[in-house]
Amino acid sequence: MIDSLGNPVLPVKYDEIYPFERGVAKVRIKDNYGLIDGKGQWVLPPDYTHISPFNAYDLAWVATGKLKSDGKKLKLFGGKVGIVSRKDGVKVGTGYDGLAEFSLRPNDWMGYTTGAKILSYGLLDTLRTDCTFLAYDKDSNGTLISPGLIDGTTGQVIVKAGTYHKICRPVGGMMRFYARPGKNGTVFGYYNLTSGKEIRCTVPDYSGGREITHSDFVGDIALVISGQEKTADGKWSATGYSVINKNGETVRDDIVQTQFGAGKTPGTGYWAFFKKTANGALTCDLCDENGHPLFINSDFSDIIFSNAEEEETLFCVQKDGYWGGIAQDGHIVIPFEWDQLLSPRHGVIYARKATSWGLLLTDGSEWIAPLYHEIAPDADRETDNVFVRTDSESWQNLKVGEAKPFPRRYQAIENFKDGFAWVQPVNFPPQDTFFNKIQRGLDNDSAMGYIVDTNDAIVSPLPVARKYAAAFRKALIEGNGVLSLQEARRLLLFLTIPYRTVKLSNAITEDEWDY
């Protein structure tokens, strides 16, 4: 490599140099790869037969071994894999036949192995997570059998492979595990990453770990089954739950049903613990992530948690047959007079009285009176417009604060975003024009409509396919809400390039030309 003046930067000693990316470049010497910085210094010596592209966390997987095709992709066979950092070099050395990232879904990981049965990763695939923890296997033939746990930050083995039949992503310093299934069910429990001690729960899991029968630790507690039965369809269902702490001690054992609402900060949230009363009804009380009650004598019959993204913590709860809203400090924000409330979204709550819906703000004030058959979920809280149904047949555009919606009716809508919405008028018959045909494209099934503003004025000079609505919104924003016929034509011609390569059988019409 030379600089712009022709001065040597890197000597001619590499068989191949790949483009620099974020300060490093992959280089090849014979059949091995390494990483260099802009001064030619080794970030990673050329000891690997493969280095994957770096992911968003500046991590890549590396391998030693032979590369060959399985008929579809170039794969790694008979080698070892590890993890490296663009900044810090080797994180997990190449001593493993199989490594797997943990998915965010419970009981799941996304993995790759190096044996003949490798299916999950091709050589161009990147890692998907920050690899805080990894599952590994020393002797894998294509799948992870009785995997162990690696600290992806230090590369140290925390739990040796073969200790457990199945492990899950550690949460709150505790790793959920399943022992190998047997005639008397599967023993499950938790491994404490700090103390190295395990908690084995006394009630076995008869589903063999296929059902999520106990939770991860959130705060200081976890939920485990206290009983299990087989359902009519052959699956297993919990008949009761217990709450345990990190010492394995039972904190509570009268629970028949639970809900959990995640907090904005990882590892925080709220539990709703349901129990049966003497007459068989369900009541629930609310606790924080450590199991401490939030209210005294709550005795709610149902609850809907706010999304973790909501600024305010508001619990929509049911009591004595009616729904209301209660704040974290216990005061009633929304009176108990509603037949149904939905979880707060974008700072509003969908509320129903009898068969009519309205919208409430999270401070309890009425945003839209309960007058409508249905209200479409809003996509953009910054726009004070929503689509409502006064019947079951069509939608209308309602500006908040107005007594009535705009008169034009729509059979299909895409909600307001950035001040514009895509709509399809009732009985809208798109003409068989050139621009309408090319928007339908090869699939021939894209719905056609118009773009309207918050005053329900049509601002797209031509009909627009739903799939191009976002592009038109962007153009309208850049044009301060105005789009000329010529600008609309130019945009459609640009968007439909893949569909306009056709056999020329007659003269091209004037509409097809971009002047």
332 and 196 fall within a common domain: no
69 and 47 fall within a common domain: yes
Residue 191 within any structural domain of the chain: yes
> What is the predicted pLDDT for the residue at 126?
84
Residue 10 within any structural domain of the chain: no
Task: Please state, in angstroms and rounded to a whole number, the distance separating the CA atoms of residues 166 and 180.
Answer: 8
* Inter-residue contact 27 to 16 (CB < 8 Å): yes
**Residue closest to 492 by CA, chosen among 509, 515, 508, 472:** 472
246 and 220 fall within a common domain: yes
238 and 173 fall within a common domain: yes
pLDDT band at 299 (very low <50, low <70, confident <90, very high): confident
324 and 301 fall within a common domain: yes
Name the domain count of the chain.
3
pLDDT band at 103 (very low <50, low <70, confident <90, very high): confident
* Inter-residue contact 181 to 165 (CB < 8 Å): yes
Do β-strands 32-37 and 42-48 pair in parallel, antiparallel, or remain unpaired? Answer: antiparallel
pTM: 0.70
> What is the predicted pLDDT for the residue at 491?
93
Rg from Cα positions in the chain: 30
Q: Which of 203, 234, 251 is a domain's end point?
A: 251
357-399: pLDDT as tens digits? 999 988 899 989 999 999 998 766 678 899 999 888 899 999 9
Average pLDDT over residues 152-160: 93
Residue 264 within any structural domain of the chain: yes
Q: Which of 193, 227, 251 is a domain's end point?
A: 251
> What is the predicted pLDDT for the residue at 503?
63
> What is the predicted pLDDT for the residue at 514?
57
53 and 155 fall within a common domain: yes
Residue 19 within any structural domain of the chain: yes
Task: Please state, in angstroms and rounded to a whole number, the distance separating the CA atoms of residues 269 and 199.
Answer: 23
Mean pLDDT, all residues of the chain: 84
Residue 501 within any structural domain of the chain: no
88 and 208 fall within a common domain: no
Q: Which domain holds residue 336?
A: 256-372
**Residue closest to 107 by CA, chosen among 195, 208, 222, 180:** 208
Residue 142 within any structural domain of the chain: yes
* Inter-residue contact 333 to 363 (CB < 8 Å): yes
Q: Which of 329, 351, 372 is a domain's end point?
A: 372
**Residue 214 identity:** H
Sheet of 16-17: strand order equals 16-17, 24-29, 32-37, 42-48
Task: Please state, in angstroms and rounded to a whole number, the distance separating the CA atoms of residues 463 and 406.
Answer: 20
19 and 151 fall within a common domain: yes
* Inter-residue contact 74 to 60 (CB < 8 Å): no
* Inter-residue contact 5 to 14 (CB < 8 Å): no
Q: Which residues face 216 on adjacent strands?
A: none
Task: Please state, in angstroms and rounded to a whole number, the distance separating the CA atoms of residues 364 and 361.
Answer: 5
207 and 137 fall within a common domain: no
**Residue closest to 41 by CA, chosen among 9, 15, 8:** 9
